Chains A and B, each alone.
Chain A
């Protein structure tokens, strides 16, 4: 039996393996040397550059671009990695259009920023392709640090601590490291198994052990870690899902995060079930990632239903355009009202006096599959830690309310939930832990 766009209900293999492979190829193919030189030449080497300020990891962007322009992409990569050891992944997944490239003065001048993200990838790819690892560990300090979570925050923290000579034990609940880079980000942004390649490269620093299948609050206890290590860094992400009760039942009502995670782990993706008509509920990056990938798998119609208006949407303008260019319809001001077999009913909304209210109008869409992308929640965090607005409360450099425990990434308060923010938090916590451990010495 062969499935296609119009196969009713939920089905896998709507497209051939070859077609899916082509659909999921990289969003931005790597720049050639020539393209990189031409793009680098556009950088003005601004003073106190706005792009640098806009980067959560404060990469010296003008310097690394000048290094590319002068034929030294390897030196450029060193400049990047010194601030952001996951510079390779960030170059692929950063919403640069809302960060460095939004701040680029050429965006202001001509509406066309220097393509900083793609240049960063050019540099980092070059150095990583050389094999080996660009850093050497300091002499062992004899101190050990436990890190829970092998996502961007955990790995950035682990690398910086290992660099300083500490012994680092990283624990992760899943079967692989990388966190959302491995399980969450859209496949076409981290193609070619990049998350695992980067992880392996990062581990090249030495002094880091990784253990999988270790879940905090399950087979891993914070108390034990505190006793066995000199410091603990929590980077557990947001494992839970926000609750949303919608009246009615639907037999294909899935959690978008889990669906994406399965898709990411599938080899050729022909086994991933997707509806003929898909409705994604939400307005963030996860909603866009789910919707676009549903289309790439061969769904006939995909609609993102977002309860607020366009301006309020968390997904960037670039992401919204990407979605619509792939044939996704974005329905703004449409809040889920009820589910039924094969359909979803949405209540139309509007903002009155700053408040979201329903207008009374409704729309019912055919929906063979409903994907919920309405945000994730903190889960499994021990009670001894103070929590603020659903996240572990942290102060300067990720210090939690408990001495000896730091936290960073999506699970911690402060900053946007981005890979690059997680890297910055992991790195800064590592420096603070280092200072703390050596001060104790």
Chain B
């Protein structure tokens, strides 16, 4: 099988699958189990400053969104950073790293936004043997109210300032973990780069209320009748994370900034998608919290088989492969025409393609006698909705029209590549 070993900003690990800083990485017992299960690396749950530890709620701290058959699609949490004494965490980190020298161990940190606390915490962890630090500028709940976490991540100047302190007071490779609760991810990414960060990791969780209890009229998870917004993660957030990773990777100023991809990675395929869009490795949390550490075995075997099939000798060959293809809308070929085709042998006649096409916009799928569904090329705009709602994978596919072929909808021949910037309807175009 392919060599899955990974090196991210100089940190080596047997594979590119790290556990993200989160409840599963809060203590020695879990981290040892995680390494034994096959995880390549761990970002230890966020440490705070010395002194009395933070206090968590003692009611429910997670809320969830479910799909069919109660599959967990999204998870939200109101848990704070580690609530165990700093000394205990440091002792455990030191012990674990000594026993697992070949596995990555990065320590996540979050202390008040002043130079001294940052210098102090870095000194405390200096001798743990940890491979690097991750600055938690992402958690959107609880700690943010105290001026930490996403409260820092939402102000590029603070990101830069703290990152500079960290680089000044330690030699640790430094990963800055970004919050997605911003309007443009490029500003915080750029700030991290400017501050001297070796990498960014994203996304942290998204501000969220997962549900409302309709008897008590309280947001869930509910603590004694009240609820506070939490941080949302899991498969549901993957599309948001992929886009933010891609934004950083395709922006010339940040293109060379290493990215650790986080957000709903559940399968080997998810991980490869993140890496293809520029992530050097991935971090996982919700999948482990949903299925246990053993799930990494599927990721390892799946990635290995994929690399073998593609002939990739190293995971670095995957990184960024899709970035050149992530473009602005205006770059897209407006002369590219496809038509939906329904495979009658695979069709189970549920009629969902027909009704969504009827009710959404285009009325391009006929329902013939005997529940035979057929695409009307003269109406099909190739929107792909039928493909998306069809319960049978591969039953509806999109056929690409060749250049010169007539599009029955427009009556025109398919032309060569041309985009909006040169389109006649674009009044601003062509006046150069």
Asked if A309 is an interface residue, CB under 8 A from chain B, the answer is no
- Option from A37, A38, A46 in Cβ contact (under 8 Å) with B350: A46
Asked if B141 is an interface residue, CB under 8 A from chain A, the answer is no
Interchain Cβ contacts under 8 Å between A and B, 17 examples: A41-B69, A44-B350, A45-B352, A46-B351, A47-B350, A47-B351, A47-B354, A47-B355, A47-B367, A48-B351, A48-B355, A48-B367, A48-B371, A50-B371, A106-B348, A108-B348, A108-B349
How big is the B interface, by class? Answer: 10 to 19
A109 touching B352, Cβ below 8 Å: no
A46 touching B352, Cβ below 8 Å: yes
- Chain B residues near A108: list those with CB within 8 A: 348-349
A41 touching B68, Cβ below 8 Å: yes
Complex-state Cα separation, A14 to B212, whole angstroms:
59
Complex-state Cα separation, A42 to B351, whole angstroms:
16
A68 CB → nearest B CB, Å:
13
Q: Do A38 and B354 form a contact, CB below 8 Å, given A105-B349, A108-B349, A109-B348?
A: no
Asked if B70 is an interface residue, CB under 8 A from chain A, the answer is yes
- Chain B residues near A49: list those with CB within 8 A: 351
- Chain B residues near A47: list those with CB within 8 A: 350-352, 354-355, 367
Complex-state Cα separation, A41 to B367, whole angstroms:
25
| Interface members, chain B 339-358 (any A CB < 8 Å) | 348-352, 354-355
How big is the A interface, by class? Answer: 10 to 19
A37 touching B70, Cβ below 8 Å: yes
A38 touching B69, Cβ below 8 Å: yes
- Chain A residues near B68: list those with CB within 8 A: 41-42
Complex-state Cα separation, A45 to B355, whole angstroms:
11
The chain B residue with its CB closest to the CB of A38 is B69
- Chain A residues near B70: list those with CB within 8 A: 37-38
Complex-state Cα separation, A50 to B347, whole angstroms:
14
Complex-state Cα separation, A48 to B370, whole angstroms:
12
Binary CB contact string for chain A from 31 to 73 against chain B (1 if under 8 A, 0 otherwise): 0000001100110111111100000000000000000000000
| Interface members, chain B 51-84 (any A CB < 8 Å) | 68-70
A44 touching B367, Cβ below 8 Å: no
B211 CB → nearest A CB, Å:
13
Chain A positions near chain B (C-beta within 8 angstroms): 37-38, 41-42, 44-50, 105-106, 108-109
The 6 A-B pairs with the shortest beta carbon distances in the complex, nearest first, are A47-B351, A47-B355, A41-B68, A109-B348, A46-B350, A105-B348
- Chain B residues near A50: list those with CB within 8 A: 349, 371
- Chain B residues near A109: list those with CB within 8 A: 348, 391-392
- Chain B residues near A44: list those with CB within 8 A: 350, 352, 391
- Chain A CB within 10 Å, residue with most, of B70, B354, B371: B371
Binary CB contact string for chain B from 351 to 387 against chain A (1 if under 8 A, 0 otherwise): 1101100000000000100010000000000000000
Given contacts A38-B70, A48-B351, A109-B392, 9 further A-B contacts (CB under 8 A): A38-B69, A42-B68, A44-B391, A46-B349, A50-B371, A105-B348, A105-B350, A105-B391, A108-B348
- Chain A residues near B367: list those with CB within 8 A: 47-48
B287 CB → nearest A CB, Å:
21
B71 CB → nearest A CB, Å:
9
- Chain A residues near B348: list those with CB within 8 A: 105-106, 108-109
Complex-state Cα separation, A188 to B355, whole angstroms:
41
- Chain B CB within 10 Å, residue with most, of A38, A42, A46, A106: A46
Complex-state Cα separation, A106 to B392, whole angstroms:
10
Complex-state Cα separation, A37 to B66, whole angstroms:
12
- Chain B residues near A46: list those with CB within 8 A: 349-352
The chain B residue with its CB closest to the CB of A107 is B348
Binary CB contact string for chain B from 371 to 410 against chain A (1 if under 8 A, 0 otherwise): 1000000000000000000011000000000000000000
Complex-state Cα separation, A280 to B36, whole angstroms:
65
Complex-state Cα separation, A105 to B353, whole angstroms:
14
- Chain A residues near B352: list those with CB within 8 A: 44-47
Complex-state Cα separation, A109 to B392, whole angstroms:
8
The chain A residue with its CB closest to the CB of B349 is A105
- Chain A residues near B349: list those with CB within 8 A: 46, 50, 105, 108
The chain B residue with its CB closest to the CB of A53 is B371
Complex-state Cα separation, A48 to B350, whole angstroms:
8
A74 CB → nearest B CB, Å:
16
Complex-state Cα separation, A223 to B291, whole angstroms:
73
Complex-state Cα separation, A49 to B391, whole angstroms:
14
Complex-state Cα separation, A132 to B392, whole angstroms:
44
- Chain B residues near A105: list those with CB within 8 A: 348-350, 391
| Interface members, chain B 224-244 (any A CB < 8 Å) | none
- Chain B residues near A41: list those with CB within 8 A: 68-69
- Chain A residues near B351: list those with CB within 8 A: 46-49
A66 CB → nearest B CB, Å:
11
Complex-state Cα separation, A46 to B351, whole angstroms:
6
B65 CB → nearest A CB, Å:
14
B333 CB → nearest A CB, Å:
33
